[in-house]
């Protein structure tokens, strides 16, 4: 029944209308909606964090905050960004990266996108446009979670964040070795969002251990999932409980092209349809990941059809896989053999946020909204108690990267190299 519905609605609505929906999961995977953590910077209890000076976010519903924040981004103008086919020695094929190169020596900022992040999307262009205009060199590329990365890197089945971060390391090193870049980078900063935020923190640990072939001097991680495995499990729950209350056409009709209402207006959607839309979009992307990994690594985990419909059969069954099944039945069995793992927690445990913020260099900063709907409330509460205050800024509300286009965020991003005592007011940050 599931395959039949996806087969009928999916090929028309998915390729036609639904793909015009914003790719909300460029911001990483997707858990449980909660009420806002507070109305002001000090609402979480205790003294207000002075780094929150100037921070204001209007939307109280964290799901709508996430969606409205994304939809508020207009197509940014990217001056002088160019595409480069980069040869990375450890990769099977060249990878296309996007770069802004200043005419003179300047700091380099590497922007790591979320789970479904693409450099040609408005969200993928936003921060590079700010950084380029401020005088930085900028390097960015599509998410390492996307199916296309499997063909390029040959690193192994998708989902091993630590290994994918090592791939990012190799991309940066190869970029720095380009003739037009060599000797022109004053210092290096890394900025990651969501899934890319986890990768940034892995690179921070490698930097602190002296295991990078280049020196990093600044690192910011925005909205990294507190527990990626639980996020994926909750995404599967949304798909089971909310997704099938709507057809793909209904989701597209209601959500595509939506213009966000002002923060003081009622939210125009109920939580169920917002969860359904996000879950549907992620599953469409995940299906491609399942299919490509199965083919590239010859895993044989999808049923075969006949000589006429084999590819169609595999595609339809790939759509039935959730994140939990993907990690348990595809990612872990592969890495169990290749990396001598003993349980799924050996793969997912090291990237839990509470462990990633350990052993970071002093310049690392993580930014996370307490009402982020992609985190379980109990996980956020536990992390809040143990997180090192100097390394984490807790926003009272903002959803999952719903604050990405805010003046406060822009000022913080552009003050990347200012060190631990960053000025985060809404005033424009000085140029590097």
DSSP 78-140: -SSEEEEEE--TTSSS-EEEEEE--SS-EEEEEEE--TT--TTSHHHHHHHHHHHHTT-EEEE
Q: Are the CB atoms for 251 and 280 separated by under 8 Å?
A: yes
Lowest-pLDDT choice from 74-78, 307-311, 398-402, 414-418: 307-311
Give which of 324, 313, 312 is closest to 286, Cα–Cα.
Answer: 324
Are 399 and 66 spatial neighbours (Cβ–Cβ below 8 Å)? yes
Give percent of the chain with pLDDT exceeding 70.
86
In this structure, what are the phi and psi dihedrals at residue 48, rounded to the nearest 5 degrees?
A: -65, 140
* More confidently predicted of 257 and 298: 298
Q: Give the residue from 326, 283, 333, 278 showing the smallest Cα distance to 302.
A: 326
Q: What backbone phi and psi angles, to 5 degrees, belong to 225?
A: -60, 135
Cα 421–chain centre separation: 26
The domain locations on the chain are 1-432
Q: Return d(Cα 232, Cα 235) in angstroms, integer.
A: 5
Q: How far is CA 197 from CA 57, 84, 101, 169, 312, in A?
A: 21, 23, 23, 14, 35
DSSP state at residue 13? I
Sign of the alpha-carbon dihedral angle for 376, 382, 385, 391: negative
Contact residues for 411 (Cβ-Cβ < 8 A; gap 6+): 54, 423, 424, 425, 426, 427, 428, 429
pLDDT given at position 82: 96
Q: Of the candidates 52, 70, 185, 195, which has an alpha carbon nearest to the alpha carbon of residue 126? A: 70
Task: Check residue 256 and give its pLDDT.
Answer: 78
| pLDDT tier, 206 (very low <50, low <70, confident <90, very high otherwise) | very high
Mean pLDDT for all residues in the chain: 87
DSSP H helical ranges for 308-343: 310-318, 323-326, 332-338
Q: Is the pLDDT of residue 431 over 90?
A: no
Residue pair 320/243 in contact by the 8 Å Cβ criterion: no
Distance from C-alpha of 86 to C-alpha of 73, rounded to nearest angstrom? 29
Whole-angstrom distance between the N-terminal and C-terminal Cα of the chain? 57
* Interacting residues of 19 by C-beta distance below 8 A, sequence separation 6+: none
- Map residue 21 onto helix, strand or coil: coil
Rounded distance, CA 2 to CA 316, Å? 9
User: For residue 20, what pLDDT is reported?
Assistant: 36
Residue 141 · residue 114 · CB < 8 Å: no
Mind listing the pLDDT tens digit for each residue in 38-84? 333 333 344 689 999 999 999 999 999 999 998 889 889 887 899 99
Which range is least confidently modeled, 104-113, 120-129, 186-195, 302-311? 302-311
- pLDDT band at 419, cuts 50/70/90? low
Per the listing, tokens 């491609």 go with 288
Looking at residues 154-160, what average pLDDT do you find?
96
Greatest Cα pair distance, the chain, in angstroms, is 67
Decide: 321 and 287 in contact? Cβ < 8 Å: yes
Distances from the Cα of 152 to the Cα of 87, 156, 174, angstroms: 10, 11, 15
**How far from chain centre, in Å, is Cα 170?**
19
Helices 271-296 and 228-241 sit at what angle, rounded to 10 degrees?
Answer: 120
Q: Give the integer Cα–Cα distance in Å for 2 and 224.
A: 32
Give the best-scoring range by mean pLDDT among 43-57, 217-231, 410-424.
217-231
* Residues across the chain: 432
Three-state DSSP at 141 gives: strand
In 10 A of CB 279, how many CB atoms?
A: 26
CATH code of the domain occupying 1-432: 3.40.50.1820
Task: For residue 384, give every residue at least 6 positions away whose Cβ sits within 8 Å of its Cβ, in sequence order, or none.
Answer: 44, 370, 394
pLDDT digits over 239-280, tens only? 999 999 999 899 988 887 789 999 989 999 999 999 999 999
- Mean pLDDT across the stretch 359-388? 96
The three-state secondary structure class of 316 is helix
């Amino acid at each position: 029944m599931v395959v039949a519905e996806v087969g009928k609605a999916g090929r028309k609505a998915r390729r036609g209308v639904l793909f015009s929906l914003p790719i909300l999961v460029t911001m990483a995977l997707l858990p449980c909606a909660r009420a806002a953590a507070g109305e002001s910077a000090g609402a979480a209890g205790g003294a207000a964090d002075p780094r929150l000076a100037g921070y204001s976010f209007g939307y109280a519903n964290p799901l709508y905050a996430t969606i409205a924040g994304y939809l508020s981004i207009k197509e940014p103008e990217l001056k002088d960004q160019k595409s480069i086919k980069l040869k990375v020695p450890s990769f099977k094929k060249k990878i296309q990266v996007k770069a802004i190169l200043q005419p003179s020596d300047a700091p380099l900022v590497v922007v790591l996108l979320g789970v479904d992040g693409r450099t040609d999307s408005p969200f993928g262009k936003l921060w590079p446009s700010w950084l380029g205009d401020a005088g930085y060199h900028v390097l960015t590329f599509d998410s390492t979670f996307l199916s296309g990365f499997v063909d390029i890197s040959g690193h192994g089945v998708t989902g091993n964040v630590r290994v994918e971060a090592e791939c990012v390391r190799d991309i940066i090193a190869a970029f720095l070795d380009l003739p037009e870049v060599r000797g022109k980078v004053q210092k290096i900063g890394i900025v990651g969002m969501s899934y890319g935020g986890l990768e940034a923190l892995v690179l921070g640990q490698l930097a602190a251990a002296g295991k990078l072939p280049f020196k990093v001097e600044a690192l910011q991680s925005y909205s990294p999932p507190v527990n990626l495995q639980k996020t994926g499990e909750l995404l599967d729950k949304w798909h089971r409980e909310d997704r099938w209350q709507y057809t793909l056409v209904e989701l597209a009709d209601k959500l595509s092209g939506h213009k966000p209402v002002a923060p003081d207006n009622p939210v125009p959607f109920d939580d169920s349809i917002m969860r359904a839309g996000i879950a549907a979009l992620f599953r469409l992307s995940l299906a491609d990941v399942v299919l490509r990994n199965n083919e590239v690594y010859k895993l044989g985990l999808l049923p075969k059809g006949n000589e006429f419909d084999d590819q169609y059969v595999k595609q339809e069954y790939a759509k039935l896989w959730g994140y939990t099944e993907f990690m348990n039945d595809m990612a872990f069995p592969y890495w169990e053999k290749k990396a001598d793992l003993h349980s799924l927690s050996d793969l997912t445990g090291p990237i839990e946020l509470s462990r990633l913020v350990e052993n970071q260099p002093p310049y690392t900063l993580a930014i996370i909204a307490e009402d982020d709907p992609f985190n379980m409330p109990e996980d956020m509460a536990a992390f809040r108690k143990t997180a090192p205050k100097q390394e984490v800024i807790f926003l009272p509300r903002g959803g999952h990267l719903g604050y990405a286009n805010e003046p406060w965020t822009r000022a913080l991003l552009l003050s990347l190299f200012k060190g631990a005592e960053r000025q985060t007011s809404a005033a424009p940050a000085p140029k590097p």
